[in-house]
């Protein structure tokens, strides 16, 4: 989720974002304390702001740390984005629209920060998105160009018409966007704005107070803020954070990686002389949307294959069957998910998906074949222990050490049965969890077996090599007893 603040310069956007920063910082480990607003970031610990008439923020600034929140039951990373103020004395109209448009495209909740009232020119700033939204509607009537926006009206004075807060703000926005009684041009603009956003809200904020506004300190003390302003700010920040939607394109949620790709696409679209053509902007967003859906479909495939890919060896037939099932599910995800530009780019990205799945399956096949070769170590070890117990048993029987022969015989039978079970699992691919467990046990005990058996075998060989005398002595003693 991306919470973006945009608006005219010197209207308190960075100051506002520091309240969000305070709220999110204190709410990471659970419930947000009631006095969170008192922990306002000071100096360089937050977004840079100060009073005066010169602009502070240039370009677009994103807070370096995402904040993890629970949105609709899912852990979601929330980013805070600050944008350069529009209509200063250093930027052209093209630059103003470019920065505002980038912020609106990247944000999942666009807070349009305005002072005292919403004038007609504030609505006309959205003209590019109105055209963009119309183009998307032509492709699919069920899709919106943008997700959510909130017009935050600072220093609201007309409380006799609309009261402070969200309820009054929503009523104000509803009356402002009403088409009845407007000229065709104004009515069309309002209708297009309404269709371009999934959700439009308003919030009316009281003045922070004369003591704060008239302070000569570049960074006025927040203790000078009016209590009514503080209370209203707490309610607004809490509402905005709890209602910021997950960033989506054409109803498809985006991951952090996909948001980075999307940002690059948007910047490239605006990185040209003048403003991008609406059709070009649509193509950039559509390609990114198709890429996002393709990556999600590929992840569906990998998740389906993970149990087999991360386990022990399975038969080629079983692996192929799982592959075919996973391919069908991934293809269904790609084809059934709504996409911008599905007609223009859908087939090309479907081909890319098929190619990438084929490459991944080849990697899984190679890894599976390597597991079969590697797992022969377990079989060889079990066979070796079985043969060793048999040979040593005969030698000990010859020496008359019957108790040890019985023990070795038991070990031989156990390893023989284990070898049969392991071989059956390897050949058939069934009961792979049993085979994996046996492989793990073998890997764990093999160093101990080698450490214990190795020196004893050497010692036994030395004894037998010089043991004819001992054997003769045993035979002589036996004759004496007779």
Question: What are the tens digits of pLDDT across the range 17-60?
Answer: 888 888 888 766 567 777 777 776 665 666 765 554 555 556 68
Q: Which residue has the tokens 């980038």?
A: 102
Name the more confident of 437 and 110.
110
126: Cβ contacts below 8 Å, ≥ 6 apart: 104, 193, 196
Q: What is the pTM (predicted TM-score) of this model?
A: 0.64
Minimum mean pLDDT range among 88-102, 144-158, 308-322, 355-369: 88-102
Q: How far is CA 331 from the centre of its chain?
A: 21
pLDDT at 204 over 90: yes
What percent of the chain is predicted at pLDDT more than 90? 14
Q: Do 33 and 110 contact (CB within 8 A), yes or no?
A: no
Distance CA 342, CA 286 (A): 8
Residue 197 has pLDDT above 70, yes or no: yes
What's the whole-number mean pLDDT along residues 346-367?
Answer: 91
Q: Whose structure tokens read 């509607």?
A: 137
Between these two residues, 480 and 172, which has the higher pLDDT value?
Answer: 172
Helices (H), 245-341: 256-270, 278-309, 316-336
Contact (CB, 8 A) for 319 and 368: yes
Mean pLDDT of 122-146: 64
Bridge-based pairing of strands 109-115 and 146-154 is parallel
- Mean pLDDT is lowest, of 6-15, 207-216, 388-397, 445-454, for 445-454
Average pLDDT over residues 422-449: 68
Report the distance separating Cα 63 and Cα 78, nearest Å: 10
CB 395 within 8 Å of CB 464: yes
Average pLDDT over residues 240-256: 82
* Band (303; pLDDT cuts 50, 70, 90): very high
Read off the pLDDT of each residue in 332-359 and give the average, rounded to a whole number. 86
Average pLDDT on 443-461 reads: 60
Q: Residue 197 belongs to what H/E stretch? A: strand 197-204
Of 92-96, 103-107, 200-204, 300-304, where does mean pLDDT reach its minimum? 92-96
412/441: higher pLDDT: 412
pLDDT band for position 99 (50/70/90)? confident
Of the chain, the percentage scoring pLDDT greater than 70 comes to 68
Parallel, antiparallel or unpaired: strands 74-83 and 2-7: parallel
Q: What's the confidence (pLDDT) of residue 262?
A: 79
**Confidence class for position 289, pLDDT limits 50, 70, 90:** confident
Q: Which among 117-121, 331-335, 413-417, 434-438 has the top mean pLDDT?
A: 331-335
Alpha-carbon Rg for the chain in angstroms = 36
- 100 and 114 Cβ atoms separated by less than 8 Å: no
CA distance 110 to 88: 20
DSSP state, residue 276: P
Between 172 and 209, residue with greater pLDDT: 172
């Amino acid at each position: 989720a991306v919470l973006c603040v945009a608006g005219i310069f010197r209207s308190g956007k960075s100051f506002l974002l520091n309240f969000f920063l305070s709220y999110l910082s204190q709410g990471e480990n659970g419930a947000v304390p009631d006095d969170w607003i008192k922990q306002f970031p000071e100096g360089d610990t937050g977004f840079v702001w100060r009073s005066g008439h010169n602009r502070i923020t240039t370009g677009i600034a994103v807070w370096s740390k995402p904040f993890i929140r629970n949105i609709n039951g899912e852990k979601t990373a929330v980013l805070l984005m600050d944008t350069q103020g529009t209509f200063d004395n250093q930027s052209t109209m093209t630059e103003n629209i470019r920065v505002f448009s980038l912020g609106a495209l990247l944000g999942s909740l666009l807070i349009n920060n305005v002072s005292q009232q919403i004038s007609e020119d504030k609505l006309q700033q959205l003209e590019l998105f109105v055209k963009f939204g119309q183009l998307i509607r032509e492709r699919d009537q069920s899709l919106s160009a943008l997700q959510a926006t909130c017009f935050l009206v600072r220093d609201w004075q007309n409380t006799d018409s609309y009261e402070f807060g969200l309820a009054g703000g929503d009523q104000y926005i509803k009356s402002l966007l009403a088409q009845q009684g407007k000229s065709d041009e104004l009515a069309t603009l309002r209708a297009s704005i309404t269709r371009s956003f999934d959700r439009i809200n308003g919030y009316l904020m009281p003045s922070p107070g004369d003591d704060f506004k008239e302070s000569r300190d570049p960074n006025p003390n927040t203790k000078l803020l009016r209590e009514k302003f503080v209370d209203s700010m707490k309610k607004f920040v809490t509402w905005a954070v709890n209602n910021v939607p997950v960033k989506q394109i054409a109803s498809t949620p985006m991951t952090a990686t996909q948001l980075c790709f999307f940002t690059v696409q948007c910047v490239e679209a605006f990185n040209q002389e003048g403003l991008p053509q609406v059709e070009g902007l649509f193509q950039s967003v559509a390609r990114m949307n198709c890429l996002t859906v393709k990556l999600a479909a590929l992840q569906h495939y990998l998740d389906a294959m993970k149990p087999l890919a991360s386990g022990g060896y399975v038969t080629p037939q079983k692996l192929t069957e799982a592959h075919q099932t996973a391919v069908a599910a991934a293809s269904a995800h790609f084809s059934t998910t709504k996409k911008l530009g599905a007609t223009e780019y859908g087939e090309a990205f479907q081909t890319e998906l098929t190619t990438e799945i084929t490459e991944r399956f080849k990697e899984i096949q190679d890894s599976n074949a390597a597991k079969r070769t590697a797992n022969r170590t377990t079989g060889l070890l079990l066979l070796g222990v079985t043969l060793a117990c048999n040979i040593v048993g005969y030698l000990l029987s010859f020496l008359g050490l019957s108790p040890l022969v019985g023990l070795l015989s038991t070990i031989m039978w156990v390893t023989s049965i284990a070898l049969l079970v392991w071989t059956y699992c390897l050949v058939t691919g069934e009961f792979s969890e049993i085979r994996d467990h046996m492989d793990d046990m073998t890997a764990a005990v093999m160093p101990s077996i080698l450490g214990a058996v190795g020196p004893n075998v050497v010692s036994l060989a030395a004894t037998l090599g010089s043991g004819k005398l001992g054997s003769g002595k045993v035979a002589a003693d036996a004759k004496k007893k007779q």
